[in-house]
Each structure stands twice: as C-alpha cells, then as structure tokens.
C-alpha cells in the first residue's frame, strides 16, 4: 500500500511537471510571437523601402495598412520577454530565438530602443504626403537597425 505522503509527493511532482511544461509552452509561444512580430515588421519594410528608393509610387493607404498589420502582430510585445525566453533557456533553445542576452542585461537600453522605434513609427504613420513620409522614414529604419545590431543575434 502506498502511503498518503508518497502519493501526495507523487501528485505534487506530476502537477509541478505540468506547470513546468505549461510554462515552457508559454515561453516558447512568447518567442514565436516575437518572431511573428518581427516578420510583420519585415513585411512593413517591404512596403516602405521601395517607396523610399523611388521604385514604387507613394501610397499612404499601403503604408498605413502595413503599419496596422505590424501593430496587430506586435500587440503583446511587453509580455514576451520573460527570463524564461532568454536564448540560454530550454524555451530559447527550443524556439531558436535570435534575441541576445543584452535584452535582459541592458533592459533600459532595450526599452529605449523600443521607444525610439515607436516614436519613429508614429511619425511615419502621421505623415500625410510623400515629402513628410520621406522625412520620417529614416528614423524608423535607423531604429530597426540599431535594435538589430545591439539586441539580435545574426542568423
């Protein structure tokens, strides 16, 4: 006969494993959500860069739609950076994150980079014509580049 203590410990262990698996799944989901957000940001840039280069005509509706798609994909951003999503964690290895450890060791710098991006994105969104778009876009490109250089591992 199994004692109540042993049964209780076994049950607690099974429950703990369930929470660990659930937490791992949540961390992996957070990493995958970050990746979907970055993919949407790439899609946004694929709309804007040809306009900046003069390869496509200015199209405010396309720019706004691209920004809206990016914002929708990135809506949970603040919740996706738990310590369990670092590259050296099980979830970070399972989802093969490109996030650098500097995101967590330089949280203030990462937050500043995010603020720069959001400010630049808002300026592009507020642009009303080709001239104001072309004036606003470089800050957006620079914010993406700066964050990738400091906080993203190379492929």
- Could you read off the pLDDT of 81-104 as tens digits, one per residue? 999 998 888 777 777 889 999 999
| Structural domain spans, the chain | 4-151
What is the structure's pLDDT at 25? 80
DSSP state for residue 85 in the 8-state scheme:
G
Q: Give the fold, CATH level 3, of 4-151.
A: 1.20.120
Contact 30, 86 (CB under 8 A): no
What is the average per-residue pLDDT within 37-53?
97
Helix (H, G, I), strand (E, B) or coil at 42: helix
Residues of the chain with pLDDT > 70, as a percent, come to 84
Q: Does the reported pTM lie above 0.85?
A: no
């Amino acid at each position: 006969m199994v004692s109540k203590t042993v049964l209780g410990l076994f049950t607690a262990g099974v429950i703990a494993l369930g929470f660990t698996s659930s937490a791992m799944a949540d961390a992996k989901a957070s990493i995958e959500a970050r990746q979907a957000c970055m993919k949407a940001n790439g899609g946004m840039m694929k709309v804007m860069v040809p306009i900046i280069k003069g390869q496509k005509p200015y199209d405010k509706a396309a720019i706004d739609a691209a920004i809206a798609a990016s914002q929708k994909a990135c809506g949970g951003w603040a919740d996706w950076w738990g310590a369990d999503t670092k590259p050296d964690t099980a979830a970070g290895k399972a989802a093969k994150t490109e996030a650098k450890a500097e995101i967590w060791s330089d949280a203030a710098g990462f937050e500043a980079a995010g603020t720069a991006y959001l400010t630049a994105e808002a300026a592009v969104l507020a642009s009303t014509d080709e001239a104001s778009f072309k004036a606003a876009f470089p800050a957006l490109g620079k914010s993406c580049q700066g964050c990738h250089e400091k906080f993203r591992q190379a492929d």
